[in-house]
Amino acid sequence: MQTNFNDSQTKINLMRAFAGESQSRMRYYLAALTAQKQFLVGLERMFRFTADQEEHHAQVFYDLLRDAAGEDITINADFPADPFTDLTQLLDAAAKGEEKEFSEVYPDFARIAAEEGFTEIGNKFRMIAEIEDSHKHRFQYYADLMRSDMLFRSKDTTERWMCLNCGHIHTGSEPPQNCPVCGVKQGFYVREAEAPFTSCGIIDQK
């Protein structure tokens, strides 16, 4: 059954998703600033990277609202006030929010969109839900590293760490306190596998 967009629940759900994504983008940007103040540049970049993705989710949902242009849309939703300074708690809260989007909110919105006959919109909710699941795993990964005090420690003595400032690779169970090449603090180091573009050239092109 095709519902008229302007009478649909999907229109309201899109506005709610837009509000949620816009807030996620801002929350992760603020979390990046918190990490920056603590000289944890790897975490800062991770939050900025994820914030950029949330920005584009917001854009996707906003574009789908074009048929409601000029209208005010009322939404009713809960939005969290996350922990402000404790990065482990902040990462846990972010992971929890992503889990909710992945397992409850967007599957529900996808189902309603399909029932109302908006197949394309339903697919967008489903695909973005999958991305939120990857965000959840990313945040949980860093929360676990923080909790176990392993952000800059590895059980593997041949772990490869990359300086995000100059690209220097250090091998060992811990990255250096200061980069021997460019001098920045340890907070610039991430495991090589966590750094962007590090797998270039490794993938079999055949």
Contact residues toward Fe ion (CB under 5 A) are 21, 54, 57, 98, 132, 135
Rounded distance between C-alpha atoms, residue 18 and residue 105, angstroms: 13
Q: Which helix (H) or strand (E) holds 33?
A: helix 9-37
Q: How many CA atoms lie within 13 A of 57 on its CB side?
A: 32
Tokens of 48: 């900025």
- Structure-block tokens of residue 85: 């300074």
Nearer to Fe ion, 92 or 132 (CB): 132
Nearest distance from C-beta of residue 61 to Fe ion, angstroms: 9
* SS3 category, 202: coil
Q: Return d(Cα 26, Cα 169) in angstroms, integer.
A: 32
Minimum Å gap between C-beta 175 and Fe ion is: 28
Residue nearer to Fe ion on the CB measure, 57 or 191: 57
d(CA 138, CA 6): 37
Minimum CB–partner distance for residue 181 and Fe ion (Å) = 34
Nearest alpha carbon to residue 63 among 2, 14, 118, 24: 14
Cβ distance to Fe ion smaller for residue 54 or 116? 54
SS3 at position 62: helix
* Beta carbon nearer to Fe ion, 116 or 132: 132
Which letter does DSSP use for residue 162 in this model? E
Q: Which CB atom, from 11 or from 27, has the smaller least distance to Fe ion? A: 27
